[in-house]
Amino acid sequence: MFEKYIIVEKDTKNIVEDGKVTGFRVAVRVPYYRGLGISMIEDIQLNVDGKPIPSDNLLVELHGNTYSLKAMEKEADDRWEFGEVGYLKVLQPGGLPAGEHKVDVLFNLRISYMPVNGIRKDSKQLAF
């Protein structure tokens, strides 16, 4: 459900701060049919060119708020709205080398009425 809409191509890019590339971000939407308190997003995994980004290096930026995956576990009131674009941020001086990169994103959603978590993923070739 909504898998192919997870990664939003046009907002995915290297992050430039004070003239320096400090990392990169991947724009994503949650593959589900309603908004969710972010504590119910049990896990997000990001792979670039086949290599997993360690979860400790991954931040989620949502309408101006920034969370680590650990911090998301406790946050039930802030909601990732239906269809809202958020950003997976990776702090990595220099960002990604210019050119095409294969990006894989996996969402693990804890939906209470489902007996098991929903695991949904998308994969796109993106230009940085």
Q: What would you measure as the largest C-alpha separation in the chain, in angstroms?
A: 48
Helices (H), 1-128: 69-72
Q: Is 120 in the site for other proteins (CB under 8 A)?
A: no
CB 10 within 8 Å of CB 124: no
> Smallest gap, in angstroms, from Cβ of residue 114 to other proteins?
9
Q: Which two tokens stand for residue 66?
A: 């920034």
- Which residue number, 38 or 46, has a Cβ lying nearer to other proteins? 38
Q: Is 10 in the site for other proteins (CB under 8 A)?
A: no
Q: Is 1 in the site for other proteins (CB under 8 A)?
A: yes
By CB under 8 A, name the one of 35, 52, 94, 97 that touches other proteins.
35
